[in-house]
Amino acid sequence: MSPTSRWQRQGKAWCTEVNGHVHSEIAAIPAQRLEIERPLLGALPSLRAHIGKVVVRKVDRLSCVRFDSARYSVPNAYIGRQVGLQVTNGTVLVVFLGEIIAEHPLVDPGATAVLDDHYGGPMPAPARAVRPKTPTGRPSWPLAQRPRTSSRGRRRGG
């Protein structure tokens, strides 16, 4: 039997003993309290620890963020939102509310790292004002038919 397995066995025995008695601060047996509270406990987040500097950037309307003069794509759903950027081992991680939403290799300044999955297909056509295509569809405003004159173009009388 290895020393590690012996220590693990001794540690489990100690935890069972300690957690089986009434605790002075909570006035309850910890093992029983855990079973009562277990349904209320949520899952731990599957996050990587923030080691190093995190820089906050806003996702632009092209669904990109700028970092060190380079552009990195982000999923369309995050346009206009603040995200965190972190460089780890030559990889740029884009994080929103503790969740990694994009991962790119670090690129040179002026370069762009784009993932097609971030755009979800072709962009919709821009919404423009309706323009009449025939002369009958054009409005006939009285002001539009008057000749335009500027005050600079008039001669002074006198």
Enumerate the domain spans of the chain. 3-40, 55-118
pTM for this model (two decimals): 0.47
Beta strands in the chain (DSSP E): 55-58, 64-67, 70-73, 82-88, 91-96, 99-105, 112-113
pLDDT at 116: 83
Helix, strand, coil share of the chain (percent; to 5): 25, 25, 50
For residue range 81-107, list pLDDT tens digits in order: 999 999 888 899 999 988 899 999 999
| Model confidence band, residue 120 (pLDDT cutoffs 50, 70, 90) | confident
pLDDT at 154 over 60: no
Residue type, 97: L
Measured in whole angstroms, how far is the alpha carbon of residue 33 from the centre of its chain? Answer: 38
Q: In the chain, how many H helices and how many E strands? A: 3, 7
Cα–Cα distance measured from residue 154 to residue 144, given in angstroms and rounded to the nearest whole number: 20
- 112-113: strand order across its sheet: 64-67, 70-73, 112-113
Helix (H) or strand (E) holding 143: helix 142-145
Q: What's the whole-number mean pLDDT along residues 34-45?
A: 86
Question: In this predicted model, which residue has the larger pLDDT, 48 or 120?
Answer: 120
Note the pLDDT of residue 24: 86
